[in-house]
Amino acid sequence: MMVRVNRIPMPTPGSLAREMDRLMQSFLRPGVLPLPTFTEAERPFPPLNVWEEGDAVFVEAELPGFTMDRLEVTIVGNELTIAGERPETKLPEDGVYHRRERRAGRFTRTLTLTVPINVDAVTAEMSNGVLLVRLPKAETARPRKIEVKAK
């Protein structure tokens, strides 16, 4: 199942200081800006896994029970936002809960990528409750092989 991706062009660059900061960060950790660490109680939903494979960065989230129409993937410049909602389970009239661990409700998470992304080629897919967003790197960010000619 394909998820619709909203593409919004890169906003005008911020101040020089902000750009410098971003640049520094990308040296420290190429790929994405470091996410803050959380305690168990304030852990944001959903947890994300991000990795690099070939010419793309992959962002994955486990979203069981989330339906397509309530899931939104947006890319604004180099900021990826995943938002969605899981409806509450409808309990039958005579039903009584013994245990409730599954979370319901709205969520939104944003991730800043430090590699230039080809926004037009971003795709998102949902399979067995796992969302996978593929963000191909922009041509400028790909390693290029430079041929050396012998004279």
Contact residues for another protein (CB under 8 A)? 29-32, 35, 47-53, 57-58, 60, 62-67, 89, 91-92, 94-103, 111, 126, 128-130, 132
CB nearer to another protein: pick between 6 and 49: 49
Residue 5 or 114: the one with the smaller Cβ distance to another protein is: 114
> Are 131 and 60 spatial neighbours (Cβ–Cβ below 8 Å)?
yes
Q: Rounded CA gap, 62 and 122, in Å?
A: 19
Report the SS3 class of residue 13: coil
- If DSSP codes are grouped into helix, strand and coil, which group holds residue 14? coil
Smallest gap from residue 68 Cβ to another protein (A): 9
Of the two residues 83 and 134, which places its CB atom closer to another protein in the complex?
134
Separation of CA 11 from chain center: 18
Asked if 68 and 2 touch (Cβ cutoff 8 Å), the reply is no
Instruction: State the minimum distance, in angstroms, from the CB of residue 138 to another protein.
Output: 17
Residue 28 vs 148, nearer CB to another protein? 28
Round to whole Å and give the CA distance between 95 and 23.
55
**At its nearest, how many Å lie between another protein and the CB of residue 149?**
32
Bridge partner list, 112? 79
For the CB of residue 66, give the shortest distance to another protein in the complex, in Å: 7
